[in-house]
A and B are shown apart, each in its own frame.
Chain A
Amino acid sequence: MSGPPDKFPAGKRTFPRFLAWLIPPAICLSVYWVGLWCWFHTDDFSLLSLVRLPPDEFWASMIEPRAQGTFRPLSERLFFYLFHGWFGFDAFPFRAAAFATHFANLALLALLTRQLSGKLGLGVFAASLWTIHHGLAYPLTWSSAFNQILCSFFMLSGLLMFARFAAGGGRGWYWAQLAAFVGGLGSLETAVVYPALCLALGLVQRQKRALWALPLLSVSALFGWLQIAGSSGLRGSIYALSFHPETILANLAWYAREAIAPAQGAPYLLPCGLALTALAALQLWARNRAVQFGLCWFLVTLAPYLVFEGRQAHYYLAIPAAGLAVFLAGALDWKRSCRQLVAAAALFACAVIGWQSLDLGRAVAANNYRFGLSARNLLTGVAHVRRLHADKTILLTGVAQSVFYSSVYHGIFRLASISDVYLTPDGNTIAQLPGYPPIAAHFATARDTRLMVTEGSAVVYNASQARLREITSQYRATLNVRLGPPGE
């Protein structure tokens, strides 16, 4: 039996090596640079509202489950509480914290892959492939998805500490990784699978202390029980859990397909899937540790998302994509497998996944940037209007559906303590989305609109462009055309 390395490969501190560590963060910035500048949008406003509660109410809510039955105090409530307290509505520090944590994650994944493959180059490659995966597009451009990044950090650092312990390190490593595990659970419920990853890591490295992962299962069991109990009120919602094999297999197929070739990449799905299957079979048979652990990581970290009956999301692939990256980096190790064909298949799969991911990831990043920018412009504009017209109702027209659901719907005006803002009954293209609570309360009625505009107690602004444009006189002159004759 080939023994595992007793400790991390030392590696010389040479300049090229230093540069190698910079490659994944540099690639990350080149793809998701815009993520540093994304303002708040959608669920961010709910979290900001929560952390602006009076302190006694806020701290009491720290461990209450949110709408989808999750806890996540570290990555959501505490993160928003601290950063909002320090920086207010400046989103950059939120984004910078996410990127800094992700850069640490890239280094940790490179270390883990290097430990499994013995090669720094493969570690850097795995981290680079992970960082361009579209599963990270949301976490890197949306502060509410920071939970994926923070959870990855705790899981990766915990795994490396567990590996130290399993390789014969002191008990301190075990307690440290336990603390990281608990931190992971406080960040995202996906961390519940951490003990399985520890066990897998220990087993692929043939470490006797691998079985020390088993006691961690009791922590997972307790957390899982709390989570399932907390989600009992979610029946009928998109977050309802289903352990039916049909649901699990359908979700597995969807996530596997989306991880490889999302949307327009469908023509590449079959050849890429075949290449990956062949790689998995050959490399597992060749006992390639990086491939074994990468595949295990992908499936195990995906498992918690397979039981959602009505919810599939690309950003749930953020953590599993790290396993896919380790798997592919390991498969590139052709000296180990002695098959150039295998390496060629791995390169083909990497190219397809990387190319598809770049397309989708950049589109998601650009969208999130636009959502944030629209929300910021709208809020800035409405706050300015409120200063100009302190005692008037503000009516908005021309609000796009995407802007509405990424800001107004989430109470953006209430968050900034601006009241008496409504959308006009005409001039907006907003449909009631299925599964969302009624949106009628955001609109003024035709009768009220006519009354307020006629008597001058409201101002009307068009919000279809970046700047709000006042159209009160125009609106008043065309009231009958817009709302129909009086009395209708």
Chain B
Amino acid sequence: MRNAVLLLAVLPALWACPVNAPDLTPIQEEPGAAAAVLLSSVNVADPQAEDQLLDGFHGLENGAWRWTMRRFAVALQPPPPEAAPEPMFLEMRFTVPEIIARRFGGAKIMAKVNGRALAPESFEGQGEFLYSQEVSAAVPGGQPARVEFELENAVPTGEVDQRELGVIVTSIALQ
């Protein structure tokens, strides 16, 4: 009985432990109504580029990469016309992980830039890959581009994870 009383006496003391205190100010306001600054090259780990990940990107992992869903999209600012390379390419650095390679043999990627479809590209087996397609005709100068990707296959929600899993992306760029 005495032991139980001693143990119960310890618990209220823990209440004041700093772990239980709110640890953050709740929100971060925009510095002002500044115009959006979009990048032409998005590293998915870059906090500045986070708002350009429009759809289908899961949380950042190991501070370096993100899983995608079957469909994912990103906003990219093409380089200014005077600095635009000719031809211009859409490039994505990504990894086909073992689980995807084992199930589907690799990944087939279809992409659209501002609604215009690019040629699909297939990647066999697992490993790191570079997706690269010419996009000069699809990207008008100055306007942000919506780049949508679609995978032929993805692991559905609930099979190995509560998330739908496509490929692992590290960066996407117009260059």
Contacts and interface: CB of A to CB of B under 8 A. Distances in A.
B3 A107 contact: yes
A469 B27 contact: yes
Describe B's contact surface by its main secondary structure: mixed
Contacts of A287: none
Describe A's contact surface by its main secondary structure: helix
Nearest to B28: A469
A82 interface: no
Contacts of B163: 401, 429, 431
A377 B7 contact: no
A473 B3 contact: no
B7 A464 contact: no
B26 A468 contact: yes
Contacts, number: 120
Contact of B27 (A100, A384, A401, A478): A384
A481 B27 contact: no
A218 B148 CA distance: 64
Contact of A99 (B11, B23, B26, B58): B11
B11 A100 contact: yes
A270 interface: no
Contact of A36 (B14, B34, B75): B14
B55 interface: yes
B14 A96 contact: yes
Contact of B162 (A401, A462, A469): A401
B91 interface: no
Contacts of B146: 480-482, 484
Interface in B27-43: 27-30, 32-36, 38
Contact of A104 (B4, B33, B34, B75): B4
Interface in B85-121: none
A168 B55 CA distance: 70
Interface in A319-349: none
Contact of B22 (A103, A380, A398, A471): A380
Interface string B54-95: 111111000000000100010100000000000000000000
B142 interface: no
Contact of A92 (B20, B33, B38): B20
A472 interface: yes
A472 B32 CA distance: 10
Given A36-B14, A377-B26, A401-B162, A427 B54 contact: yes
Contacts of B53: 427
A366 to B, nearest CB: 14
A146 to B, nearest CB: 15
A100 B7 contact: yes
B51 A466 contact: no
Tier of interface size on chain B: 35 or more
A426 interface: yes
Given A37-B19, A433-B162, A474 B51 contact: yes
Interface string A103-118: 1100100000000000
Interface residues of A, number: 53
B144 A467 contact: no
Interface stretch (A17-25, A191-199, A200-208, A254-262): A17-25
A385 interface: yes
A474 B20 contact: no
A230 to B, nearest CB: 28
B26 A383 contact: yes
A100 B8 contact: yes
A461 B23 CA distance: 19
Interface centre among A21, A92, A427, A429 (most CB of B within 10 A): A429
Contacts of B30: 470-474
A484 B146 CA distance: 8
Interface in A151-165: none
B164 A431 contact: yes
B28 A384 contact: no
A434 interface: yes
Contacts of A405: 162
A231 interface: no
B67 to A, nearest CB: 9
Nearest to A378: B26
A454 interface: no
A482 B3 contact: no
Interface string A85-107: 00000001100100110011001
A482 B114 CA distance: 11
Interface in A441-488: 461-462, 464, 466-475, 477-478, 480-482, 484
A21 B56 CA distance: 52
Contacts of B15: 92-93, 96
6 contacts: A429-B56, A464-B59, A467-B25, A468-B27, A477-B36, A478-B144
Interface of B: 3-4, 7-8, 11-12, 14-15, 17, 19-20, 22-30, 32-36, 38, 50-51, 53-59, 69, 73, 75, 144-146, 157-158, 162-164
Given A380-B26, A473-B33, A478-B51, 14 more contacts: A37-B17, A96-B12, A100-B7, A103-B7, A381-B26, A385-B27, A398-B50, A429-B57, A431-B157, A461-B27, A467-B28, A473-B35, A475-B51, A480-B146
